[in-house]
Amino acid sequence: MGRIKIIHWFVYYSNGNGYGLFYKVQGIYIWKPRIRKCALIDGEWKDISEEMYPGYVFVGSEYGWRYIERFLNIQLLRESGKPKMLSRNEVREIREKEGFEENYDMGLFCYGQSVKVRKETKSPFSGMEGLFLKVVPVKGGKYAEVEFDLLGLRKRIERIPLDYLETKYDSENKTV
């Protein structure tokens, strides 16, 4: 039985040196997290992918930071004289933000997109606008988690049936 490899992650400011999205070379992992967003381009909502932390590259290895710096001939970002190692929670949070499948349902809505609960629905949120967060499969159908701003005082996340939602753009351009 092989041993479990524990990868220690560090941050490097790449200054646009062209590292790819994720690859491995000689026991070193290079990772540039990306996030999917929606943009209104030529009157249509389009899926775009952009760097989560422009200019920064996450570099990991089971051999430690000295191996990374020597092999790649770089200097990692430092905190109190030593390279800052990311905690497991920090890595997990970045991976969750990057997680395309959880936060995106192809063809419907994109993470962060403005949506509106249709007025003809039987919902206490009928007619309200919010931000689409993610699709949640629930027994009997799919629901969307939508963040509503209530009176500017607090944010509230609610599960709304997907078929109750429309894009804010669609609702403004309906023909009656």
Rounded mean pLDDT of 147-166? 83
- This prediction's pTM: 0.53
Residue 2, in any domain of the structure: no
Question: Does residue 27 sit in the same domain as residue 78?
Answer: yes
Note whether residue 69 is domain-resident: yes
Considering the domain architecture, whether residues 73 and 132 belong to the same structural domain is answered as no
DSSP 103: H
Task: Classify residue 1: in a domain, yes or no.
Answer: no
Residue 10, pLDDT above cutoff 90: yes
Higher pLDDT, 18 or 120: 120
Cα–Cα distance measured from residue 86 to residue 92, given in angstroms and rounded to the nearest whole number: 10
Residue finishing a domain among 68, 98, 128: 98
131 and 87 within one domain: no
**Per-residue model confidence as pLDDT tens digits over 101-130:** 443 343 457 677 788 898 888 888 889 998
Q: Are residues 16 and 79 in the same domain?
A: yes
- 19 lies in the same domain as 94: yes
The identity of residue 175, as a single letter, is T
Looking at the structure, do residues 54 and 84 belong to the same domain, yes or no? Answer: yes
User: 9: closest CA among 86, 97, 63, 93?
Assistant: 86
Please tell me whether residues 70 and 118 are part of one structural domain: no
118 and 94 assigned to the same domain: no
Same domain for 165 and 90, yes or no, is no
Number of domains in the chain: 2
Query: How many CB atoms are closer than 10 A to CB 70?
Result: 10
Question: What pLDDT does 29 receive?
Answer: 84
Of the residues 98, 129, 160, the one at which a domain ends: 98
Whole-number Å distance between alpha carbons of 171 and 176: 11
Same domain, 81 and 26: yes
Q: In sequence order, which residues have a C-beta less than 8 Å from that of residue 123 and are 6 or more positions away? A: 117, 160, 164
Residues 93 and 130 in one domain: no
Identify whether 108 is part of a domain.
Answer: no
- Domain that residue 134 falls in: 114-172
Instruction: Note whether 15 and 63 are same-domain residues.
Output: yes
Widest CA span in the chain? 67
Q: What is the pLDDT averaged over residues 68-96?
A: 88
Q: What is the mean pLDDT of the segment spanning 81-89?
A: 90
Instruction: Say whether pLDDT at 75 is over 70.
Output: yes
Q: Of 98, 131, 151, which closes a domain?
A: 98
Contact 167, 115 (CB under 8 A): yes
* Averaged pLDDT for residues 78-94: 89
Kindly state whether residue 26 falls inside one of the protein's structural domains.
Answer: yes
